Amino acid sequence: MKSRWLVNLLLLLIVAGIVSFIYLRPPEQDDSRPVHEISTLKLAEFKHLSIEFPAKAPVVFEKRDDFWYLVQPYAARADQMTVQRIVSIVAAKTMDKFPADDARFGIDNPRLKLRLNDEVFTFGIYNPVTSEQYVAYKDSVYLLPGTYSETAGYADC
């Protein structure tokens, strides 16, 4: 009978130790970096979209009656979801922001330029470590996922 009490007491001590460890452990440090918004523009305020490639004619979209239409290289109704994915770059957020005066981002020889009304997003090279792409907007360069330029590259297909 005494051995059962000892086993129960031992289990109680183990549970009390685990509870005290969880309760008294030091708080986790917040190592989060600040999140930067690419722009403060709104998705609904764009009526003209141009995707400019270095080696081929630009692809131009216009918004008429709340629908996107392909204007150039031929006239057709555009895939609305694809255009919305391209335009969604204005709402992108990232933790990496750099000054635009550095030549190592490939912005001086862009792979793609995206013009939304009068706003220009310039796509540079890919980061070899994270596979993200450098994107210049106004006076800063941001590191964004490559899905924006990949979607823009297939927009006229």
Which tens digit of pLDDT belongs to each residue from 10-27?
888 899 989 888 888 877
Question: Residue 15's pLDDT is what?
Answer: 92
- pLDDT tens digit string along 105-155? 877 778 888 888 888 888 888 888 888 888 888 888 888 887 777 777 666
Mean pLDDT, the chain, whole residue set: 81
Domain ranges of the chain: 36-153
- Nearest CA to 87 out of 133, 122, 41, 29 is that of 41
Question: Is 36-153 a CATH 2.60.40 domain?
Answer: yes
Write the single-letter amino acid at 88: S
With beta carbons less than 8 A apart as the criterion, state whether 144 and 38 touch.
Answer: yes
Q: What is the pLDDT of residues 64-120, one digit of tens each?
A: 888 888 888 887 888 788 888 888 888 888 888 888 776 778 777 788 888 888 888
Phi, psi at residue 16, to the nearest 5°?
-65, -35
Structure tokens at 31: 């190592």
Question: Dihedral of CA 134/135/140/143: which sign?
Answer: negative
Mean pLDDT of 35-51: 81
Q: What is the mean pLDDT of residues 38-52?
A: 81
Instruction: Report the chain's terminal Cα–Cα distance, integer Å.
Output: 81
